[in-house]
Structure 1
Amino acid sequence: MKEESILLQLKRVGYQAGATNILNNISFNLRAGEFKLITGPSGCGKSTLLKIVASLISPSHGEIVFAGDEITTLNPEHYRQQVSYCAQTPALFGDTVYDNLIFPWQIRHQRPDPDAFAADLARVELPQEILTKSIVELSGGEKQRIALIRNLQFLPKVLLLDEITSALDEHNKRNVNDLIHHYVRDKNIGVLWVTHDKDEINHADKVITLQPHAGEMQEATYERA
Structure 2
Amino acid sequence: MAHTQPIISLKRVGFQINSKSILSDITLDIYEGDSIALVGPSGSGKSTLLKLIGSLLSPTEGRIQFKGADLSQQNPIDYRQEVSYFFQNAVLFDETVRDNLDFPAEIRQETFDEKRAIEGLEKVRLNATYLTKEIHELSGGEKQRIALVRNLMYMPRVLLLDEVTSSLDQINRDIILNYVRQLNEAQGTTLLWITHNNDDLQYFNRVLKVENGLMEEIK
Task: Report Cα offsets for 1:31-77 as digits up to 9, x if no partner.
Answer: 11110011100000111111111111111111111111111111111
CA drift at 1:91: 2.6
Q: Is the contact between residue 88 and residue 163 of structure 1 (CA under 8 Å) also seen in structure 2?
A: yes
Q: Does 1:177 align with 2:182?
A: no
- The corresponding residue for 2:190 is 190
- The corresponding residue for 2:107 is 107
Percent of residue pairs bearing the same amino acid type? 43
Which amino acid counterpart does residue 14 of structure 2 have in structure 1? G
- The corresponding residue for 1:13 is 13
- The corresponding residue for 1:201 is 201
- The corresponding residue for 1:127 is 127
Q: Is the contact between residue 210 and residue 216 of structure 1 (CA under 8 Å) also seen in structure 2?
A: yes
Task: Report Cα offsets for 1:87-111 as digits up to 9, x if no partner.
Answer: 0011322221111111111222222
Distance in 2 between residues matched to 1:116 and 1:211, nearest whole Å: 40
Q: Does 1:151 align with 2:151?
A: yes
- The corresponding residue for 1:137 is 137
Distance in 1 between residues matched to 2:115 and 2:185, nearest whole Å: 26
Provide the secondary structure at the position in 1 that maps to 2:217. Answer: strand
Q: Is the contact between residue 33 and residue 190 of structure 2 (CA under 8 Å) also seen in structure 1?
A: yes
CA drift at 1:119: 1.9
Task: Report Cα offsets for 1:100-132 as digits up to 9, x if no partner.
Answer: 111111222222221332221111112322222
- The corresponding residue for 1:168 is 168
Q: Taking structure 2 as the reference length, what is the TM-score of the superposition? A: 0.94
Distance in 2 between residues matched to 1:57 and 1:153, nearest whole Å: 24
Q: Is the contact between residue 96 and residue 132 of structure 1 (CA under 8 Å) also seen in structure 2?
A: yes
- The corresponding residue for 1:64 is 64
Is there any run of 5+ residues in structure 1 with no aligned partner, and where?
none
Deviates more, 1:158-167 or 1:107-116: 107-116
Which amino acid counterpart does residue 220 of structure 1 have in structure 2? I
Q: 1:69 to 1:2 in 2, by over 3 A?
A: farther
Alignment of 1:74-113 (within 5 A): 74-113=74-113
CA drift at 1:198: 1.3
Q: Is the contact between residue 7 and residue 190 of structure 1 (CA under 8 Å) also seen in structure 2?
A: no
Q: Is the contact between residue 177 and residue 203 of structure 1 (CA under 8 Å) also seen in structure 2?
A: no
Is there any run of 5+ residues in structure 2 with no aligned partner, and where?
none
Q: Is the contact between residue 5 and residue 68 of structure 2 (CA under 8 Å) also seen in structure 1?
A: no
CA drift at 1:136: 3.0
Distance in 1 between residues matched to 2:177 and 2:122, nearest whole Å: 15
Q: Is the contact between residue 206 and residue 219 of structure 1 (CA under 8 Å) also seen in structure 2?
A: yes
Q: Over the residues paired in the alignment, what is the CA RMSD in angstroms?
A: 1.5
- The corresponding residue for 1:219 is 217
